[in-house]
Structure 1
Amino acid sequence: MSSLEREVAEKQAAFAQLTAENEALKRKEKVLEKVLSCRDEQLGMVAALEERCVTRPGWAQQLQLQHQGAGSQTEAASDSAGAGAASSSSSSGGGTAAGAGAGVVVHRSCFGSDAANNVVSGPVEAQEAFRSMKKEQVIPQYKAFLTEVSAALLHCTYPCCDSDNPIVQKVTAAVERMGVLLKHLVLLNSPVMRQLLSLNLETGQPASPPTGHWDVVVASLQLTPQQAADIAAVYELYRGLIAKVYEERRLILTALGHTPSPGGSGLGCSMDGSATSTFLQQLQMQAAGAMGVGGGAGRPLVGGDAREGIERTGLAADMELIDKLSANMDKEHSARTLLCCFFFGKVLAPPQFAKVAVYSYPYFPDSLAVATAVARASGARGGSGSGSLDGSR
């Protein structure tokens, strides 16, 4: 009888384990669905922009006239503005709308919720405005947003999620307006986003948050167990993606004559995205110099264990490596934009997004740093002590 009891107990334990694994897989499936919806939206935005640039009638003629310096540019621009933009639809239900003059494309925003989640990605000129924005233009708008939502949150009692509450409605509207700006900057203007993430917004000087800063931000959110589990799951997904990106980057940098250290801080030697981006720009300038473009041919722009200059005989191979490094940087940016979209748009309610912004100040909300803090608090494997990989501060 005892042997039967042991067998029953073992089978019950095995069943419980399989049930738990099944539930975990279901949660991961839901997380992946949300991540894919983020990617579909981002691809839709980029595709809509590219299609507008290429398919608008009069675009090619205008470009040719500009190149030749002859003809009526005003007439060509009029033809371009009068054409409708190519339509696109996101997986989350965004439709299209063609207006008089320049066409517009409606997408479902990463930020906000439900029907109010639809925002308009305007014509090419609007897209270019986001691409060319400077931090001096963004910071005043962001501070005005903070002033608005912080005043409202003072009068919103926990959990501050009643959609019929006028205060919640006010906060949600403000978050959705700011979300339009931020989601376009994340996707189209990564340089200014890197600047914002590295600044103390009060002083305007480069600074890093103190130890424990993001833990305080996470505590303010009062996340539900489901939210914490979703964030931890997508964080692990991100870590898996970025580990492959960093390994590929290590091989490329080594081939370029560097010995990268995962946690290093030296220019061109760190696996950190911002440092590698600067180093990539230097390599591109050096390659241009080697080809006699822009002067300064042969002058080394980086030192240390880097090669003294790009030799013409090996230029083709070096250019190929530089292209690979650029593509690798794009992969990291893609992973970061997915994490940002998921964290701020698919998990947090608008009042929680407002809290992240308020409690992050004087620093800009860092989705990766906050997700790292959530994963660490949730006991996610590898959630602590991995700054070289996850980029937490």
Structure 2
Amino acid sequence: MDNHAWQPGGLPGAPLSVAAHMPPQTAQGGIHAAEDYLDMDAALHNYLTSIWDSPTPTGTGFTGDNANSAATPLASPGTEAPAKMSAPGIGHAVQSGGETQVAGLGGLNASGQTRGPAGGQAGAHFAFTFQAESGSDGKRDAGERAAQGGGSGGEMTSKSSESGTNGTAEGRQKKRRGGGEAEAPAGKKELTQEKNRIAQKQFRERQKVKMNGLQRQIEELQASLESMQQANSALQSQNGILHKVLAMRDERIKMLQEAAKYISENDSTGKQVSDVAVTLSELHIGSVVRLTAEKLKTMQAEEIKQYWMEYVTEISAVLVDANTNPQAEERVGKLVNELFMLMMRFAALNPVLMMWSKQSYSSDDEEVRKWLAVVPHLGLSKDQIAEIVAIRSMLLDKLKRVLDERSVLTAAIQPSLASSMACEKLHLEYIKTNEAVIQLKENLRSEHTALLDFVSAMLRKILTPIQVARLMVQSYPTKPDILAVASAVQQWQN
């Protein structure tokens, strides 16, 4: 016979613990036991599940259980219990070896085998073993419980089994739930941290892209601002140059008017006009030299060169102390101013002799290279360089127009050189040639005036007296080629 208890629900059988051998019970008692068993199905299922997972718990027992409190075996109505029944039915207690055992759902037959509720194979047989309590109180309590019958004993046994089983199962379930709840927050925390890291990384990347865009916008705005500032500076410089050119033009017109007035009065009355005279007082301290307009008009080139060399020699001597001595710097300014007035008056009254300065609209490369080595030592500022480059460009444009006009005039004069010598045709050619020559002379005067205006702007409006003095010393014994100096400045800037 199989010694494993049967379990409902297809669960594997567990070893059957038999507390005591009981005799076979009647059919009526088996029916009552089956009905009780059906009522306790759910509790038994939980109990059997718990005892399969762990050893059968041993309780403290019921108080007062002993052999004297055993109830009468169950029997069908009108019949007597078998004489050989040695153990009670469901809910009976049996004392064995000082221990009280409670058996339910059937008993043991005479041969000691387990008998089921309906006389068949044993199923769901279970037993509790309790320590017997000593004393009369224990016996009395056991007798009272045994008197309640097999049904009440089985109900009590099932309730205790259900409570113990449920307690054990619920404890394990709570323990498992507690572990899951402990693990769930940890996993959720790690997932939240990972999401936060990803979000922070994406935020930093967006901020980086945004900052790069703002940086590019700032750079573009700065470049645009610098370009506008440069354009504004160029316009202001050009405006200043135009004002200076206009002032020089007015000065030049005034000088020509004075010279023309002197010539007309000198031709008619022979009187001298003191307004165009030049007073030289700084060359020789304590000595004053007065050069009238007539003297300047009749002065030869060698005489003006002599004045030039004397002034430059004095300037070079004073220029040594000009950087440390304010009085020397002031005297350099006065010497440069007197020499400039002398040269400009002489050029206005004697334009032909003024050409000894080698002033021309096209400087050769050798002259430019000479001044290219001097320009870095002049101490020019950025504004001065810009003004020099601008005024040089204006001069070259004007000279180009003058030369284009001169080419046309020369072409108009050329046919009259091989003219006929007969009749009135000679008179017509004379009139045409004379008109062309007058226009050519005006063209030459325009070229000369443009050069004088350029020199005046460079020496009086742009360069300082100290810078002009350095140019004069570097070009000694001749005059400096101002156009070559401007070309050297333009190349040095590039």
Aligned length: 267
Distance 1:16 1:226, change over 3 A: closer
2:442 aligned with 1:327:
yes
Alignment of 1:1-393 (within 5 A): 13-52=223-262, 63=268, 80=271, 104=275, 126-156=292-322, 160=323, 165-197=326-358, 212-257=369-414, 312-379=427-494
DSSP-derived class of the 1:104 partner:
helix
Higher relative contact order structure (alpha carbons within 8 Å, sequence separation ≥ 6)? 1
State, as a whole percentage, how many aligned pairs show the same letter: 25
Conservation of the 8 A alpha-carbon contact between 1:220 and 1:359 = no
CA distance in 1, matches of 2:381, 2:335: 23
Distance 1:371 1:186, change over 3 A: farther
What are the superposed Cα offsets for residues 276-307 of structure 1, whole Å, 9 maximum, x if unpaired?
xxxxxxx9xx89xx9xxxxxx98xxxxxxxxx
CA distance in 1, matches of 2:396, 2:341: 27
Letter in 2 for 1:221: L
Q: Which residue of 1 aligns with 2:207?
A: none
Shift of 1:30: 0.7
DSSP-derived class of the 1:222 partner:
coil
CA distance in 2, matches of 1:335, 1:196: 15
CA distance in 1, matches of 2:475, 2:320: 16
Letter in 2 for 1:337: L
Structure 2: unaligned runs, 5 residues or longer: 1-209, 283-289
Query: What RMSD, in angstroms, separates the aligned Cα atoms of the two structures?
Result: 3.7
CA distance in 2, matches of 1:167, 1:103: 30
Shift of 1:27: 0.8
What are the superposed Cα offsets for residues 352-391 of structure 1, whole Å, 9 maximum, x if unpaired?
1111111112432111111121122223xxxxxxxxxxxx
Distance 1:211 1:370, change over 3 A: closer
Shift of 1:234: 0.8
Distance 1:36 1:326, change over 3 A: same
Q: Which residue of 2 aligns with 1:204?
A: none
What are the superposed Cα offsets for residues 171-221 of structure 1, whole Å, 9 maximum, x if unpaired?
2222122122112123222211212428xxxxxxxx996562122332332
CA distance in 1, matches of 2:321, 2:464: 17
Conservation of the 8 A alpha-carbon contact between 2:378 and 2:470 = yes
DSSP-derived class of the 1:167 partner:
helix
**TM-score (normalised: structure 2):** 0.47
Distance 1:14 1:181, change over 3 A: same
Letter in 1 for 2:275: V
Conservation of the 8 A alpha-carbon contact between 1:209 and 1:363 = no
What are the superposed Cα offsets for residues 222-273 of structure 1, whole Å, 9 maximum, x if unpaired?
2122211111111111112112112112222233339xxxxxxxxxxxxxxx
DSSP-derived class of the 1:242 partner:
helix
Distance 1:19 1:3, change over 3 A: same
Letter in 2 for 1:212: R
DSSP-derived class of the 2:472 partner:
helix
CA distance in 1, matches of 2:372, 2:351: 25
Letter in 2 for 1:195: W
Structure showing greater Rg: 2
Distance 1:193 1:371, change over 3 A: same
Distance 1:250 1:30, change over 3 A: same
Shift of 1:10: 5.7
Conservation of the 8 A alpha-carbon contact between 2:367 and 2:484 = no
Distance 1:192 1:219, change over 3 A: farther
